[in-house]
A and B are shown apart, each in its own frame.
Chain A
Amino acid sequence: MKSFTRFGLVAAVVVLTASACSSSAASPAGAGMSGSLTIWTAYGSGGSAEGTAMDAVIAKAKTAFPSLTIDRVEIPFSDLFTKVETAWAAGGKTPDMYIAPNDSLGNEMRMGILYGPLDDKLGSSASSFTDISIAGSKVDGKMYEIPESMKAVSMFYNKSIVATPPATTDDLLALAKAGTKVGIAEYAANYYNWWVYNAFAGGPIMDATGKCVASTNGSSDGLAYMKALKDTGNVTFYTDGPTFQGDFKTGKLGIVIEGPWGTGDFKTALAANLAIAPIPAGPKGKGLPLSAPDGWYINANATQAQKDLAVQFALWEVSAAGGEQIFADQAGHLPAVKDATVTDTISKGFLTQMTDSYPRPQNKQLGAYWSNFTNAFDSVLLKGTDPVQATKDACDAMNKANNL
């Protein structure tokens, strides 16, 4: 009887320990998920590929987990971060989670509204993520989002116009001089054209402390190069996305630097003429674009049970067996996990570009980069300001804003 009691106690301890462990390291398959989740997305509700894929993923989750209720709320992307930050900062428990690029990851972590670090919540899924997606999900070395897919710009070209894509910045300039029409985004210029600084400086504009070093490392040559492109008369700098994409789709442009979000429409318009190549390398290094994962962010105000459920759902969704293959197949997402397969040529091209990309920094100093370097970019292109002076002014302003 005594041994029976002892066995019972040991068994109880084992069961309790197992259940305690399961709550701290969520099951990657999302097994047995039940409860209710409110999620916010910004994938469009008007029949966009991403919106349709998200619908399919949720439908699959509902079939796989009948006890799980998912309430998806679509928010315009321009309002997404502000709405989430306002709601969560005020202590709101809704939404439980949302999916977005990592634009505000560092900002929201520092606000204290994100559940994390998540490093020890991944369980056996930890090894399934690509290194670059993990790198893009970290702030100060700790994970605060569960990466879903990767995004970076790369170089699309129209095979009926461009026989051989330019491999170097000199090649691109020569093509433009010879009459090939090229499109470059002037809107969000600093995101789209981050690559040019690495190509001409051999490194990023900031050092490890967040101090701007662009004025001393040759980044200004990147701006001078952009001006040289413009001066060919065959390179157009676009101030709005639809026109930019439209001109490539209608064959007015032979080359554009654009992200995977343009793939679907480009394919429809150009069919077999659409091709992709890595961004040209410069004299000092490769043209590394900023790369950033879209990922799941979890509400720090939620109850522990809701946080665990949110982590479970996120890990299920980003797995190939869960939702990620749907996103890869239907919306052209570049999976953050290794087991989801990509068969499409263009998506494979983006995966190649991803290996030559620069994970978007999450330090607060980057916040002063955007407006100051946009100003430098515009000053050189529109006013003809000396690139060295424009870069120095931008760098000084950035360092002043960061007290560096």
Chain B
Amino acid sequence: MSAPAKATYVRKRRMFGADARVALMYLLPAFMVMAIITFYPLLYQVWMSFTDFKNTNLRVGSASPDWIWFGNYIKILTNDIAGIPNYDFLRILAFNLFWAFSNVIIHLCLGVAIALLLNQKKLWFRSIYRAIYVLPVVIPPIIVAAVWRNIFDQHHGAFNYLLAILTRQPPGGVDIAWLTDPGNPIAFFPLLPLSYFALLATNVWLGWPLNSVVATGALQSIPQDLYEAVEIDGGGAWTKFKVITLPFLRPAMLPYAIYGFVITFNLFYLSYFMTAGGPFGRTELLVTQAYRLVQEQQLYGVAAAFSVVMFVILLVLTLITNRLTKATASYVD
């Protein structure tokens, strides 16, 4: 048997041999479950996105919706969704991207910095600090949103109260409408209303602890003799960080940053419950807009198309970031 023929034979045997059949048998139940709970709904949603599916089509046995090809996609991209004020797809997308990037960058920097601080061996009670700082993560999201919405309340919020104390004004002397002011605090960057900063503060409070946990894990896996080697070579703290700490952190932090990006990009509850997408839809995210299309407008077809668009955007972004950062490559590559 020639070498190519032998290779083909081995490949076929691997694919159709007894071992492969056994492996497939083991996988089959999982595939069947996934087919029902994952693939079928996904495909159904894609099908819905090409129809004018409405709530009247929900009923079993009702007439099928009309096939409208790319009608829903055109409506989404040309801002032609009747009945929704302040809808502007490109503005929502731009805000959504800025929201996700800004959060992830701050989470990452803050998470790593605090992990480095708490990794100091001479620090007392560091195990207690590490336990405390993950507390925000275990609080139910709806509670977080409700508490922070109250903190930023215009008339009774703790934040305005604090500002009044700091600026030596009487209680109620500071009356900033953090969540509803339609103005532009950064005049040259009108994408961001004041409520963006309220959302950002909340999500930073929520987001850095897990970044710190991941960074702490990575820091503790770095062999100490590498640092000693740098010291022998005369390197200082910055050199140690640049040459050893940073390369060892990368394989842990970059995949987590990409994961964090996807999570933050689709972070429903802060935008929905803290600002209700306001003022005037300026803190609306794609995911909250999709929800409103279904829940408030009952435009199932348009919402399905919206979700497909979101999926494509996230897929492209993930592939690009993965490529640029080599997030899934190990540090020995």
Contacts and interface: CB of A to CB of B under 8 A. Distances in A.
A287 B42 CA distance: 49
B58 A86 contact: yes
B298 A378 contact: no
Contact of B58 (A89, A367, A397, A400): A89
A112 B58 CA distance: 10
B65 interface: no
A82 interface: yes
Contacts of A231: none
B84 A371 contact: yes
Interface in A80-113: 82, 85-86, 89-91, 107, 110-113
Given A89-B59, A111-B55, A383-B182, A375 B85 contact: yes
Interface size class for chain B?
20 to 34
For chain B, what secondary structure do more than half of its interface residues adopt (helix, strand, loop), or is it mixed?
Answer: loop
A240 B155 CA distance: 11
Given A111-B55, A113-B59, A371 B85 contact: yes
A201 to B, nearest CB: 21
B328 interface: no
Contacts of A378: 180, 278-280
A370 interface: yes
Interface in B266-308: 278-280, 295-298
A378 B193 CA distance: 15
Contacts of A383: 182, 280
B301 to A, nearest CB: 15
Interface string A378-401: 110011000000000010011011
Contact of B56 (A112, A236, A382): A112
B39 to A, nearest CB: 20
A110 B298 CA distance: 13
B280 A90 contact: no
A124 interface: no
A273 interface: no
B85 A397 contact: yes
A243 B295 contact: no
B83 interface: yes
Interface of A: 82, 85-86, 89-91, 107, 110-113, 236, 239-240, 243, 367-368, 370-372, 374-375, 378-379, 382-383, 394, 397-398, 400-401
28 contacts: A85-B58, A86-B58, A89-B60, A90-B60, A91-B61, A107-B55, A110-B56, A111-B58, A112-B56, A239-B153, A243-B153, A243-B155, A243-B156, A367-B83, A367-B297, A370-B296, A371-B84, A372-B85, A375-B85, A375-B86, A375-B280, A378-B280, A379-B280, A382-B180, A382-B279, A383-B182, A397-B85, A398-B83
Given A372-B85, A375-B86, 13 more contacts: A90-B58, A111-B56, A112-B56, A236-B155, A243-B153, A243-B155, A367-B297, A370-B296, A371-B83, A371-B85, A375-B85, A375-B280, A383-B280
